[in-house]
Chain A
Amino acid sequence: MDALMNLGLGVFGGAWPAVWTLVKIVLIVAPLMLSVAYLTWAERKVIGYMQVRIGPNRVGPWGLIQPIADGLKLLMKEIIVPSGANKGIFIIAPMLAIAPALAAWAVVPFNDSLVLANIDASLLYIMAITSMGVYGIILSGWASNSKYAFLGAMRASAQMVSYEISMGFSLICVLMVSNSLNLVEIVNVQNQGRFADWGLGFLSWNWLPLLPMFLVYLISGVAETNRAPFDVAEGESEIVAGFHVEYSGMAFAVFFLAEYANMILVSALTSIMFLGGWLSPVGFLPDGVLWLFAKMAFILFLFLWFRATFPRYRFDQLMRLGWKVFLPVCLVWLVVVGVWMMSPLSIWK
Protein backbone atom coordinates (compact mmCIF):
# COMPACT_ATOMS: atom_id res chain seq x y z
CA MET A 1 0.00 0.00 0.00
CA ASP A 2 2.83 2.41 0.88
CA ALA A 3 4.53 1.59 -2.40
CA LEU A 4 1.32 2.44 -4.26
CA MET A 5 1.09 5.77 -2.40
CA ASN A 6 4.67 6.65 -3.23
CA LEU A 7 4.19 5.68 -6.88
CA GLY A 8 1.07 7.87 -7.04
CA LEU A 9 2.87 10.80 -5.43
CA GLY A 10 5.66 10.40 -7.95
CA VAL A 11 3.36 10.31 -10.96
CA PHE A 12 0.73 12.90 -10.02
CA GLY A 13 2.65 15.07 -7.55
CA GLY A 14 0.42 17.49 -5.64
CA ALA A 15 -2.74 16.28 -7.38
CA TRP A 16 -2.32 12.77 -5.95
CA PRO A 17 -4.78 13.15 -3.00
CA ALA A 18 -7.51 14.22 -5.43
CA VAL A 19 -6.68 11.35 -7.81
CA TRP A 20 -6.60 8.84 -4.94
CA THR A 21 -10.02 10.07 -3.71
CA LEU A 22 -11.39 9.68 -7.24
CA VAL A 23 -10.04 6.12 -7.34
CA LYS A 24 -11.80 5.39 -4.05
CA ILE A 25 -15.04 6.89 -5.37
CA VAL A 26 -14.85 4.63 -8.43
CA LEU A 27 -14.18 1.66 -6.14
CA ILE A 28 -17.44 2.41 -4.31
CA VAL A 29 -19.67 3.47 -7.21
CA ALA A 30 -18.73 0.76 -9.73
CA PRO A 31 -19.63 -2.20 -7.46
CA LEU A 32 -22.74 -0.26 -6.39
CA MET A 33 -23.93 0.04 -9.99
CA LEU A 34 -23.18 -3.63 -10.56
CA SER A 35 -25.19 -4.54 -7.44
CA VAL A 36 -28.06 -2.39 -8.71
CA ALA A 37 -28.04 -4.36 -11.96
CA TYR A 38 -28.05 -7.69 -10.16
CA LEU A 39 -30.59 -6.48 -7.60
CA THR A 40 -33.06 -6.08 -10.46
CA TRP A 41 -32.23 -9.62 -11.54
CA ALA A 42 -32.60 -10.90 -7.97
CA GLU A 43 -35.91 -9.08 -7.65
CA ARG A 44 -37.34 -10.75 -10.74
CA LYS A 45 -36.04 -14.15 -9.66
CA VAL A 46 -37.22 -13.89 -6.03
CA ILE A 47 -40.67 -12.57 -6.93
CA GLY A 48 -40.85 -15.18 -9.69
CA TYR A 49 -40.25 -18.05 -7.30
CA MET A 50 -42.63 -16.54 -4.73
CA GLN A 51 -45.34 -16.52 -7.39
CA VAL A 52 -44.43 -20.05 -8.58
CA ARG A 53 -42.84 -18.80 -11.80
CA ILE A 54 -39.25 -19.19 -12.97
CA GLY A 55 -38.35 -15.57 -13.71
CA PRO A 56 -35.78 -14.56 -16.32
CA ASN A 57 -34.00 -17.66 -17.63
CA ARG A 58 -33.29 -17.04 -21.32
CA VAL A 59 -30.29 -14.65 -21.46
CA GLY A 60 -27.26 -16.50 -20.12
CA PRO A 61 -27.30 -19.25 -17.46
CA TRP A 62 -30.20 -18.65 -15.02
CA GLY A 63 -30.83 -15.38 -16.86
CA LEU A 64 -27.66 -13.87 -15.39
CA ILE A 65 -26.94 -11.67 -18.43
CA GLN A 66 -30.50 -10.28 -18.40
CA PRO A 67 -29.70 -7.00 -16.53
CA ILE A 68 -26.85 -6.27 -18.96
CA ALA A 69 -29.19 -6.84 -21.90
CA ASP A 70 -31.82 -4.57 -20.32
CA GLY A 71 -29.24 -1.86 -19.73
CA LEU A 72 -28.02 -2.03 -23.32
CA LYS A 73 -31.58 -1.85 -24.61
CA LEU A 74 -32.28 1.28 -22.55
CA LEU A 75 -29.01 2.86 -23.73
CA MET A 76 -30.04 2.39 -27.35
CA LYS A 77 -33.47 3.97 -26.95
CA GLU A 78 -34.29 7.55 -27.80
CA ILE A 79 -35.02 10.03 -25.02
CA ILE A 80 -38.29 11.67 -25.97
CA VAL A 81 -39.00 15.09 -24.50
CA PRO A 82 -42.76 15.75 -24.51
CA SER A 83 -43.98 18.89 -26.26
CA GLY A 84 -44.67 21.63 -23.73
CA ALA A 85 -42.25 20.08 -21.26
CA ASN A 86 -39.78 22.31 -19.48
CA LYS A 87 -36.78 20.86 -21.26
CA GLY A 88 -33.95 21.91 -18.96
CA ILE A 89 -35.62 20.68 -15.80
CA PHE A 90 -36.88 17.56 -17.59
CA ILE A 91 -33.27 16.55 -18.29
CA ILE A 92 -31.89 17.64 -14.90
CA ALA A 93 -34.56 15.81 -12.84
CA PRO A 94 -33.14 12.25 -13.24
CA MET A 95 -29.69 13.57 -12.32
CA LEU A 96 -31.12 15.17 -9.18
CA ALA A 97 -32.68 11.82 -8.32
CA ILE A 98 -29.48 9.79 -8.59
CA ALA A 99 -26.94 12.31 -7.24
CA PRO A 100 -28.06 12.08 -3.57
CA ALA A 101 -28.34 8.28 -3.83
CA LEU A 102 -24.64 8.18 -4.75
CA ALA A 103 -23.37 11.12 -2.67
CA ALA A 104 -24.64 9.57 0.57
CA TRP A 105 -22.18 6.67 0.15
CA ALA A 106 -19.30 9.07 0.87
CA VAL A 107 -19.70 8.58 4.63
CA VAL A 108 -20.98 4.98 4.78
CA PRO A 109 -18.35 2.90 6.60
CA PHE A 110 -17.67 -0.69 5.49
CA ASN A 111 -15.51 -1.43 8.52
CA ASP A 112 -13.44 0.40 11.13
CA SER A 113 -11.19 2.08 8.58
CA LEU A 114 -12.78 1.39 5.19
CA VAL A 115 -14.70 4.64 4.69
CA LEU A 116 -14.26 7.39 2.12
CA ALA A 117 -14.83 10.33 4.51
CA ASN A 118 -14.94 9.58 8.23
CA ILE A 119 -16.52 12.88 9.28
CA ASP A 120 -17.85 13.76 12.72
CA ALA A 121 -21.41 14.48 11.71
CA SER A 122 -21.86 11.64 9.23
CA LEU A 123 -25.35 10.75 10.46
CA LEU A 124 -26.50 14.34 9.91
CA TYR A 125 -24.84 14.35 6.50
CA ILE A 126 -26.75 11.21 5.51
CA MET A 127 -30.05 12.71 6.68
CA ALA A 128 -29.38 15.96 4.78
CA ILE A 129 -28.32 14.29 1.54
CA THR A 130 -31.10 11.71 1.44
CA SER A 131 -33.68 14.42 2.12
CA MET A 132 -32.76 15.95 -1.25
CA GLY A 133 -33.68 12.85 -3.26
CA VAL A 134 -37.28 14.02 -3.45
CA TYR A 135 -36.41 16.90 -5.80
CA GLY A 136 -35.74 14.60 -8.73
CA ILE A 137 -39.22 13.16 -8.37
CA ILE A 138 -41.06 16.46 -7.86
CA LEU A 139 -39.28 18.20 -10.72
CA SER A 140 -39.71 15.29 -13.13
CA GLY A 141 -43.44 15.32 -12.40
CA TRP A 142 -43.73 19.06 -12.90
CA ALA A 143 -41.47 19.33 -15.95
CA SER A 144 -43.19 16.50 -17.83
CA ASN A 145 -46.30 18.64 -18.41
CA SER A 146 -48.46 15.57 -17.83
CA LYS A 147 -51.31 15.12 -15.36
CA TYR A 148 -50.32 11.59 -14.35
CA ALA A 149 -46.72 12.58 -13.78
CA PHE A 150 -47.80 15.59 -11.74
CA LEU A 151 -50.12 13.52 -9.55
CA GLY A 152 -47.32 11.02 -8.97
CA ALA A 153 -44.92 13.81 -8.02
CA MET A 154 -47.42 15.32 -5.56
CA ARG A 155 -47.98 11.94 -3.94
CA ALA A 156 -44.26 11.21 -3.76
CA SER A 157 -43.33 14.51 -2.18
CA ALA A 158 -46.09 14.33 0.44
CA GLN A 159 -45.10 10.77 1.25
CA MET A 160 -41.37 11.35 1.45
CA VAL A 161 -41.70 14.46 3.61
CA SER A 162 -44.02 12.61 6.02
CA TYR A 163 -41.86 9.54 6.43
CA GLU A 164 -38.64 11.51 6.71
CA ILE A 165 -39.88 12.79 10.07
CA SER A 166 -40.36 9.37 11.66
CA MET A 167 -37.08 8.24 10.08
CA GLY A 168 -35.32 11.22 11.63
CA PHE A 169 -36.84 10.51 15.06
CA SER A 170 -35.75 6.88 15.00
CA LEU A 171 -32.23 8.01 14.09
CA ILE A 172 -32.34 10.50 16.99
CA CYS A 173 -32.93 7.53 19.34
CA VAL A 174 -29.89 5.81 17.81
CA LEU A 175 -27.67 8.83 18.27
CA MET A 176 -28.89 9.25 21.86
CA VAL A 177 -27.84 5.75 22.84
CA SER A 178 -24.56 5.93 20.89
CA ASN A 179 -23.76 9.46 22.10
CA SER A 180 -22.23 10.16 18.70
CA LEU A 181 -23.12 11.26 15.19
CA ASN A 182 -20.30 9.27 13.65
CA LEU A 183 -21.36 6.06 11.92
CA VAL A 184 -18.15 4.19 12.84
CA GLU A 185 -18.70 5.14 16.47
CA ILE A 186 -22.37 4.09 16.28
CA VAL A 187 -21.32 0.60 15.15
CA ASN A 188 -18.56 0.31 17.75
CA VAL A 189 -20.96 1.25 20.57
CA GLN A 190 -23.17 -1.69 19.59
CA ASN A 191 -20.29 -4.02 20.47
CA GLN A 192 -20.57 -3.18 24.18
CA GLY A 193 -22.76 -4.50 26.95
CA ARG A 194 -23.52 -7.70 28.82
CA PHE A 195 -24.51 -9.80 25.81
CA ALA A 196 -21.43 -8.78 23.84
CA ASP A 197 -19.26 -9.88 26.80
CA TRP A 198 -21.01 -13.26 26.78
CA GLY A 199 -20.18 -13.63 23.08
CA LEU A 200 -23.79 -13.10 21.97
CA GLY A 201 -23.13 -9.83 20.16
CA PHE A 202 -26.33 -9.88 18.12
CA LEU A 203 -28.38 -9.32 21.30
CA SER A 204 -26.49 -6.13 22.13
CA TRP A 205 -27.08 -4.50 18.75
CA ASN A 206 -29.49 -1.58 18.63
CA TRP A 207 -32.37 -3.56 17.13
CA LEU A 208 -33.29 -5.16 20.45
CA PRO A 209 -33.33 -2.20 22.88
CA LEU A 210 -34.74 0.05 20.14
CA LEU A 211 -37.05 -2.55 18.59
CA PRO A 212 -39.97 -0.15 17.86
CA MET A 213 -37.55 2.32 16.29
CA PHE A 214 -35.98 -0.45 14.21
CA LEU A 215 -39.39 -1.39 12.79
CA VAL A 216 -40.32 2.26 12.22
CA TYR A 217 -37.02 2.87 10.42
CA LEU A 218 -37.32 -0.22 8.26
CA ILE A 219 -40.91 0.53 7.21
CA SER A 220 -40.18 4.23 6.70
CA GLY A 221 -37.21 3.18 4.61
CA VAL A 222 -39.50 1.18 2.35
CA ALA A 223 -41.83 4.20 2.10
CA GLU A 224 -38.92 6.61 1.57
CA THR A 225 -37.65 4.63 -1.42
CA ASN A 226 -41.17 4.47 -2.90
CA ARG A 227 -41.19 0.68 -2.90
CA ALA A 228 -44.20 -1.61 -2.66
CA PRO A 229 -46.46 -1.60 -0.65
CA PHE A 230 -45.88 2.18 -0.48
CA ASP A 231 -45.33 2.71 -4.21
CA VAL A 232 -48.34 5.02 -4.62
CA ALA A 233 -46.06 7.45 -6.46
CA GLU A 234 -46.04 5.09 -9.43
CA GLY A 235 -49.29 3.17 -8.71
CA GLU A 236 -49.67 1.56 -12.14
CA SER A 237 -53.38 0.88 -11.73
CA GLU A 238 -54.21 4.48 -10.82
CA ILE A 239 -51.74 6.88 -12.41
CA VAL A 240 -50.05 4.72 -15.08
CA ALA A 241 -46.44 5.02 -13.88
CA GLY A 242 -46.50 8.20 -11.85
CA PHE A 243 -43.66 10.68 -12.03
CA HIS A 244 -41.60 8.92 -14.71
CA VAL A 245 -44.42 8.15 -17.13
CA GLU A 246 -43.00 10.51 -19.78
CA TYR A 247 -39.41 9.31 -19.50
CA SER A 248 -37.84 6.88 -21.92
CA GLY A 249 -34.44 5.40 -22.62
CA MET A 250 -31.53 6.31 -20.41
CA ALA A 251 -33.45 9.07 -18.57
CA PHE A 252 -35.87 6.42 -17.32
CA ALA A 253 -32.95 4.09 -16.55
CA VAL A 254 -31.40 6.76 -14.33
CA PHE A 255 -34.60 6.95 -12.24
CA PHE A 256 -34.54 3.18 -12.04
CA LEU A 257 -30.89 3.19 -10.92
CA ALA A 258 -31.68 5.85 -8.32
CA GLU A 259 -34.53 3.81 -6.85
CA TYR A 260 -32.41 0.68 -6.49
CA ALA A 261 -29.33 2.58 -5.29
CA ASN A 262 -31.58 4.11 -2.62
CA MET A 263 -32.78 0.64 -1.62
CA ILE A 264 -29.18 -0.52 -1.19
CA LEU A 265 -28.38 2.65 0.76
CA VAL A 266 -31.32 2.19 3.13
CA SER A 267 -30.35 -1.45 3.69
CA ALA A 268 -26.75 -0.41 4.43
CA LEU A 269 -27.92 2.26 6.86
CA THR A 270 -30.33 -0.10 8.62
CA SER A 271 -27.52 -2.63 9.00
CA ILE A 272 -25.17 0.01 10.41
CA MET A 273 -27.62 1.72 12.76
CA PHE A 274 -29.54 -1.27 14.08
CA LEU A 275 -27.86 -4.54 13.06
CA GLY A 276 -24.30 -3.86 14.14
CA GLY A 277 -22.77 -3.14 10.74
CA TRP A 278 -19.66 -5.24 10.22
CA LEU A 279 -19.81 -6.79 13.72
CA SER A 280 -20.05 -10.54 13.93
CA PRO A 281 -23.24 -11.85 15.61
CA VAL A 282 -21.34 -14.32 17.81
CA GLY A 283 -18.06 -14.02 19.66
CA PHE A 284 -16.17 -16.91 18.06
CA LEU A 285 -16.41 -15.56 14.49
CA PRO A 286 -14.30 -12.57 13.40
CA ASP A 287 -15.86 -9.22 12.47
CA GLY A 288 -15.61 -8.23 8.86
CA VAL A 289 -17.09 -6.44 5.90
CA LEU A 290 -18.75 -9.68 4.74
CA TRP A 291 -21.13 -9.49 7.72
CA LEU A 292 -22.23 -6.04 6.55
CA PHE A 293 -22.90 -7.36 3.05
CA ALA A 294 -24.82 -10.34 4.47
CA LYS A 295 -27.02 -8.04 6.57
CA MET A 296 -27.61 -5.75 3.60
CA ALA A 297 -28.56 -8.74 1.45
CA PHE A 298 -31.03 -9.87 4.12
CA ILE A 299 -32.73 -6.45 4.25
CA LEU A 300 -32.80 -6.23 0.46
CA PHE A 301 -34.47 -9.64 0.46
CA LEU A 302 -37.05 -8.20 2.89
CA PHE A 303 -37.70 -5.39 0.39
CA LEU A 304 -38.39 -7.91 -2.37
CA TRP A 305 -40.44 -10.11 -0.03
CA PHE A 306 -42.64 -7.14 0.95
CA ARG A 307 -43.24 -6.39 -2.71
CA ALA A 308 -44.30 -9.95 -3.44
CA THR A 309 -46.52 -10.19 -0.36
CA PHE A 310 -48.39 -6.98 0.42
CA PRO A 311 -51.04 -5.21 -1.64
CA ARG A 312 -50.50 -1.49 -2.21
CA TYR A 313 -51.58 0.93 0.54
CA ARG A 314 -54.31 3.41 -0.24
CA PHE A 315 -52.95 6.97 -0.13
CA ASP A 316 -54.94 8.10 2.93
CA GLN A 317 -53.93 4.94 4.80
CA LEU A 318 -50.31 5.70 3.98
CA MET A 319 -50.56 9.23 5.37
CA ARG A 320 -52.37 7.93 8.46
CA LEU A 321 -49.63 5.38 9.11
CA GLY A 322 -46.94 8.06 8.85
CA TRP A 323 -48.54 10.82 10.89
CA LYS A 324 -50.91 9.09 13.29
CA VAL A 325 -49.05 5.86 14.04
CA PHE A 326 -45.31 6.24 13.49
CA LEU A 327 -44.93 9.81 14.74
CA PRO A 328 -46.61 9.19 18.15
CA VAL A 329 -44.69 5.90 18.53
CA CYS A 330 -41.44 7.75 17.84
CA LEU A 331 -42.22 10.56 20.27
CA VAL A 332 -43.15 8.14 23.05
CA TRP A 333 -40.11 5.94 22.48
CA LEU A 334 -37.84 9.00 22.41
CA VAL A 335 -39.00 9.84 25.95
CA VAL A 336 -38.75 6.18 27.01
CA VAL A 337 -35.15 5.97 25.80
CA GLY A 338 -34.29 9.27 27.47
CA VAL A 339 -35.72 8.13 30.82
CA TRP A 340 -34.10 4.70 30.42
CA MET A 341 -30.69 6.26 29.81
CA MET A 342 -30.98 8.46 32.90
CA SER A 343 -32.29 5.66 35.15
CA PRO A 344 -30.03 3.20 37.04
CA LEU A 345 -31.23 0.46 34.63
CA SER A 346 -29.38 2.09 31.73
CA ILE A 347 -27.47 -0.41 29.59
CA TRP A 348 -25.48 2.25 27.72
CA LYS A 349 -23.14 3.41 30.49
Chain B
Amino acid sequence: MDFQTLVFFFLSAILIVASLRVITARNPVHAALHLILAFFTCGGIWALLQAEFLAIAIILVYVGAVMVLFLFVVMMLDINLDRIRQGFWSYLPLGAMLGILMVMEMGLVLGSKYFQVPAADALMPAGVSNTKSIGALMFTDFVYPFELASIILLVGMIAAIVLTHRGPKKSKYTNPNQQVFVKAKDRVRVLQMPVEKD
Protein backbone atom coordinates (compact mmCIF):
# COMPACT_ATOMS: atom_id res chain seq x y z
CA MET B 1 0.00 0.00 0.00
CA ASP B 2 1.59 3.28 -1.02
CA PHE B 3 1.54 6.51 0.95
CA GLN B 4 -1.31 8.10 -1.00
CA THR B 5 -3.63 5.18 -0.35
CA LEU B 6 -2.75 5.41 3.33
CA VAL B 7 -3.63 9.13 3.39
CA PHE B 8 -6.83 8.40 1.51
CA PHE B 9 -7.98 5.81 4.04
CA PHE B 10 -6.99 8.07 6.93
CA LEU B 11 -9.00 10.99 5.52
CA SER B 12 -11.96 8.79 4.57
CA ALA B 13 -12.12 7.32 8.07
CA ILE B 14 -12.23 10.84 9.56
CA LEU B 15 -14.80 11.91 6.97
CA ILE B 16 -17.14 9.01 7.72
CA VAL B 17 -16.88 9.38 11.50
CA ALA B 18 -17.40 13.16 11.27
CA SER B 19 -20.40 12.79 8.96
CA LEU B 20 -21.97 10.24 11.30
CA ARG B 21 -21.43 12.56 14.25
CA VAL B 22 -23.18 15.38 12.36
CA ILE B 23 -26.46 13.46 12.53
CA THR B 24 -25.92 11.76 15.89
CA ALA B 25 -24.44 14.55 18.04
CA ARG B 26 -26.94 15.82 20.64
CA ASN B 27 -25.43 19.31 20.80
CA PRO B 28 -26.16 21.31 17.62
CA VAL B 29 -22.85 23.20 17.90
CA HIS B 30 -20.97 19.90 18.04
CA ALA B 31 -22.90 18.74 14.99
CA ALA B 32 -21.94 21.92 13.11
CA LEU B 33 -18.29 21.49 14.12
CA HIS B 34 -18.29 17.92 12.84
CA LEU B 35 -19.78 19.17 9.58
CA ILE B 36 -16.84 21.59 9.32
CA LEU B 37 -14.43 18.72 9.92
CA ALA B 38 -16.23 16.70 7.24
CA PHE B 39 -15.87 19.54 4.69
CA PHE B 40 -12.21 19.92 5.57
CA THR B 41 -11.35 16.25 5.12
CA CYS B 42 -13.42 16.25 1.94
CA GLY B 43 -11.14 19.04 0.69
CA GLY B 44 -8.17 16.86 1.61
CA ILE B 45 -9.52 13.94 -0.43
CA TRP B 46 -10.11 16.20 -3.44
CA ALA B 47 -6.55 17.48 -3.13
CA LEU B 48 -5.41 13.84 -3.31
CA LEU B 49 -7.37 13.53 -6.58
CA GLN B 50 -5.32 16.49 -7.94
CA ALA B 51 -8.39 18.75 -7.93
CA GLU B 52 -6.58 21.42 -5.96
CA PHE B 53 -8.88 24.24 -7.03
CA LEU B 54 -12.00 22.43 -5.82
CA ALA B 55 -10.22 21.38 -2.62
CA ILE B 56 -9.26 24.95 -1.79
CA ALA B 57 -12.64 26.30 -2.93
CA ILE B 58 -14.61 24.03 -0.60
CA ILE B 59 -12.45 25.16 2.32
CA LEU B 60 -12.61 28.82 1.32
CA VAL B 61 -16.37 28.88 0.68
CA TYR B 62 -17.87 26.30 3.01
CA VAL B 63 -15.43 26.20 5.91
CA GLY B 64 -14.37 29.84 5.74
CA ALA B 65 -17.66 31.58 5.09
CA VAL B 66 -20.83 29.45 5.04
CA MET B 67 -20.13 27.46 8.19
CA VAL B 68 -19.01 30.57 10.11
CA LEU B 69 -22.43 32.12 9.55
CA PHE B 70 -24.10 28.78 10.21
CA LEU B 71 -22.28 28.38 13.51
CA PHE B 72 -23.13 32.00 14.30
CA VAL B 73 -26.85 31.18 13.98
CA VAL B 74 -26.72 27.78 15.67
CA MET B 75 -24.97 29.25 18.71
CA MET B 76 -27.63 31.91 19.20
CA LEU B 77 -30.63 29.62 18.71
CA ASP B 78 -32.07 27.82 21.68
CA ILE B 79 -32.65 24.48 19.99
CA ASN B 80 -34.74 21.94 21.84
CA LEU B 81 -33.54 18.65 20.40
CA ASP B 82 -36.23 16.52 22.03
CA ARG B 83 -38.96 18.42 20.21
CA ILE B 84 -37.09 18.04 16.91
CA ARG B 85 -36.74 14.32 17.50
CA GLN B 86 -40.49 13.87 18.03
CA GLY B 87 -41.27 13.68 14.30
CA PHE B 88 -38.52 11.13 13.64
CA TRP B 89 -40.71 8.16 12.75
CA SER B 90 -43.11 10.11 10.54
CA TYR B 91 -40.25 11.59 8.51
CA LEU B 92 -38.33 8.31 8.31
CA PRO B 93 -39.93 6.88 5.12
CA LEU B 94 -39.23 10.05 3.09
CA GLY B 95 -35.71 10.38 4.51
CA ALA B 96 -34.92 6.72 3.91
CA MET B 97 -36.15 7.00 0.33
CA LEU B 98 -33.90 10.01 -0.36
CA GLY B 99 -30.98 8.22 1.31
CA ILE B 100 -31.44 5.09 -0.79
CA LEU B 101 -31.69 7.24 -3.93
CA MET B 102 -28.40 8.96 -3.13
CA VAL B 103 -26.66 5.67 -2.35
CA MET B 104 -27.89 4.32 -5.71
CA GLU B 105 -26.59 7.38 -7.55
CA MET B 106 -23.21 7.04 -5.89
CA GLY B 107 -23.19 3.34 -6.75
CA LEU B 108 -23.89 4.20 -10.40
CA VAL B 109 -20.99 6.65 -10.49
CA LEU B 110 -18.54 4.39 -8.67
CA GLY B 111 -19.56 1.24 -10.53
CA SER B 112 -19.74 2.96 -13.90
CA LYS B 113 -17.69 0.14 -15.40
CA TYR B 114 -20.68 -2.16 -14.98
CA PHE B 115 -23.54 0.27 -15.62
CA GLN B 116 -22.23 1.93 -18.80
CA VAL B 117 -22.21 5.47 -17.37
CA PRO B 118 -19.32 7.46 -18.91
CA ALA B 119 -16.40 7.38 -16.46
CA ALA B 120 -14.48 10.51 -15.44
CA ASP B 121 -11.73 11.51 -17.86
CA ALA B 122 -8.12 10.71 -17.16
CA LEU B 123 -6.11 12.86 -14.76
CA MET B 124 -4.77 16.19 -15.99
CA PRO B 125 -1.22 16.22 -17.29
CA ALA B 126 1.19 17.81 -14.80
CA GLY B 127 1.95 21.48 -15.26
CA VAL B 128 -1.56 22.52 -16.32
CA SER B 129 -3.15 24.86 -13.81
CA ASN B 130 -6.37 23.44 -12.46
CA THR B 131 -7.82 26.90 -11.87
CA LYS B 132 -7.12 28.09 -15.40
CA SER B 133 -8.68 25.05 -17.09
CA ILE B 134 -11.80 25.19 -14.89
CA GLY B 135 -12.16 28.89 -15.66
CA ALA B 136 -11.73 28.31 -19.39
CA LEU B 137 -14.33 25.51 -19.38
CA MET B 138 -16.77 27.57 -17.33
CA PHE B 139 -16.75 30.45 -19.80
CA THR B 140 -16.74 28.37 -23.01
CA ASP B 141 -18.38 24.95 -22.94
CA PHE B 142 -20.48 25.43 -19.82
CA VAL B 143 -21.29 29.12 -20.06
CA TYR B 144 -25.09 28.65 -20.11
CA PRO B 145 -25.28 26.31 -17.10
CA PHE B 146 -22.88 28.65 -15.31
CA GLU B 147 -24.99 31.74 -16.00
CA LEU B 148 -28.12 29.82 -15.08
CA ALA B 149 -26.61 28.80 -11.75
CA SER B 150 -25.65 32.40 -11.00
CA ILE B 151 -29.17 33.59 -11.78
CA ILE B 152 -30.62 30.91 -9.49
CA LEU B 153 -28.26 32.09 -6.74
CA LEU B 154 -29.35 35.70 -7.33
CA VAL B 155 -33.00 34.68 -7.13
CA GLY B 156 -32.22 32.82 -3.90
CA MET B 157 -30.61 35.94 -2.44
CA ILE B 158 -33.57 38.14 -3.36
CA ALA B 159 -36.00 35.51 -2.02
CA ALA B 160 -34.16 35.39 1.30
CA ILE B 161 -34.35 39.18 1.61
CA VAL B 162 -38.04 39.28 0.65
CA LEU B 163 -38.92 36.51 3.13
CA THR B 164 -37.15 38.18 6.07
CA HIS B 165 -37.88 41.83 5.28
CA ARG B 166 -40.60 43.13 7.61
CA GLY B 167 -41.03 46.58 6.10
CA PRO B 168 -39.29 49.77 7.24
CA LYS B 169 -38.98 50.00 11.00
CA LYS B 170 -39.46 53.29 12.76
CA SER B 171 -36.15 53.56 14.53
CA LYS B 172 -33.71 56.34 15.19
CA TYR B 173 -30.50 56.09 13.24
CA THR B 174 -27.51 58.30 12.67
CA ASN B 175 -26.40 59.62 9.31
CA PRO B 176 -22.64 59.04 9.04
CA ASN B 177 -22.23 61.78 6.42
CA GLN B 178 -23.64 64.39 8.74
CA GLN B 179 -21.45 63.07 11.55
CA VAL B 180 -18.30 63.24 9.48
CA PHE B 181 -18.89 66.77 8.22
CA VAL B 182 -19.86 68.26 11.54
CA LYS B 183 -17.86 71.32 12.65
CA ALA B 184 -16.91 72.20 16.18
CA LYS B 185 -18.75 75.51 15.98
CA ASP B 186 -22.05 73.71 15.19
CA ARG B 187 -21.88 71.88 18.49
CA VAL B 188 -20.06 74.11 20.95
CA ARG B 189 -20.73 77.75 21.63
CA VAL B 190 -17.96 79.63 23.43
CA LEU B 191 -19.35 82.42 25.59
CA GLN B 192 -17.42 85.48 26.63
CA MET B 193 -18.15 86.39 30.22
CA PRO B 194 -16.73 89.20 32.28
CA VAL B 195 -14.48 88.03 35.08
CA GLU B 196 -16.30 88.16 38.39
CA LYS B 197 -14.55 89.97 41.18
CA ASP B 198 -15.43 90.05 44.80
Contact B36 A135 (CB under 8 A): yes
Q: Mark A122-151, 1 if CB is under 8 A from B, else 0.
A: 001101110110110011001000000010
Bitwise interface map of A from 290 to 326 toward B, beta carbon under 8 Å scored 1, else 0: 0000000000000000000000000001001000000
Greatest chain B CB density within 10 A among A119, A121, A160 is at A121
Are A138 and B53 also in contact (CB < 8 A) when A124-B60, A124-B131 are? no
Closest to A134 in B: B68
B68 x A127 contact (CB < 8 A): no
The residue that A132 contacts in the complex, of B64, B71, B130, B176, with Cβ under 8 A, is B64
Q: How close is B7's CB to chain A, nearest CB, in angstroms? A: 13
Report whether B176 and A181 are in contact in the complex, using a CB–CB cutoff of 8 Å.
no
Q: How far is the CB of A104 from chain B (nearest CB, A)?
A: 12
CB distance from B197 to the nearest CB of A (A): 38
Residue contact B52 to A131, C-beta cutoff 8 Å: no
Contact B72 A317 (CB under 8 A): no
CB pair A125–B56 under 8 Å, yes or no, is yes
Q: Are B52 and A161 interface neighbours, CB within 8 A? A: no
Report how far A139 CA is from B71 CA in the complex, Å: 9
- Which B24-70 residues have C-beta < 8 A from chain A? 29, 33, 36, 52-53, 56-57, 59-60, 63-65, 68-69
B129 interfacial by beta-carbon distance below 8 Å: yes
Whether A181 contacts B131 in the complex (CB less than 8 A), given A124-B56, A127-B60, A128-B59, comes out as yes
Of the residues A132, A142, A154, A320, contact of B63 by C-beta under 8 Å: A132
Report the bound CA distance from A138 to B67 in whole Å.
11
* CB-CB under 8 A for A132 and B59, given A124-B131, A317-B176: yes
Binding site for B on A (CB under 8 A): 86, 89, 119-121, 124-125, 127-129, 131-132, 134-135, 138-139, 142, 150, 154, 157-158, 160-161, 164, 181, 317, 320
Q: Which residues of B contact A (CB under 8 A)?
A: 29, 33, 36, 52-53, 56-57, 59-60, 63-65, 68-69, 71-72, 75-76, 129-131, 176
Which 10 pairs across A and B sit closest by C-beta, in order of nearness?
A: A131-B64, A128-B60, A128-B59, A124-B56, A128-B56, A142-B75, A120-B129, A121-B52, A157-B72, A161-B68
14 A-B pairs in the complex with CB atoms less than 8 angstroms apart: A86-B29, A120-B131, A127-B64, A128-B63, A128-B64, A131-B63, A134-B64, A134-B68, A135-B71, A138-B68, A138-B75, A154-B76, A161-B65, A317-B176
